[in-house]
Amino acid sequence: MKLLLAIVNNDDSARAAAALTEHGIFVTKLSTTGGFLMVGNTTLLIGTEDEKVNEVKEILKTHCTTRKSAPSPTESLGRGLKHGSLPAEVKVGGATVFVLDVLDTIKI
């Protein structure tokens, strides 16, 4: 069994979670905040069998799109970034996925 931690853009999280659920894959959504741009995102906790990992990755690839965004110049100030140190445009969206081995699982 595997646990996938998928960090996705808030704009993509509802579509991705719905698509996973439609394919019979259980998902839990957590609200999280990124450390660089300090904007909200969603971390999906996805428990699945080893043979479904590639299916989950394809679903995420389909529903988590990348796009360009202009970061707010004041959002990250006070967190160690200097004015003008952020790029004018950054790529956001997509998904960062960590695949972890699960030694044991129980439902109580």
Domain at 2-67+94-101, CATH from 1.10.357.10, 3.40.50.2020, 3.30.70.120, 3.90.1150.10: 3.30.70.120
Could you tell me which residue, 106 or 45, shows the higher pLDDT?
A: 45
So what's the pLDDT on residue 68? 72
Q: Is the confidence at residue 12, as pLDDT, over 60? A: yes
Q: Is 70 exceeded by the pLDDT of residue 35?
A: no
Could you tell me which residues come within 8 angstroms of residue 100 by beta carbon, excluding any fewer than 6 positions away? 2, 3, 4, 5
Q: What ranges do the domains of the chain cover? A: 2-67+94-101
Nearest to 27 by CA among 8, 47, 57, 3: 47
pLDDT top residue among 32 and 73: 32
Does the reported pTM lie above 0.85?
A: no
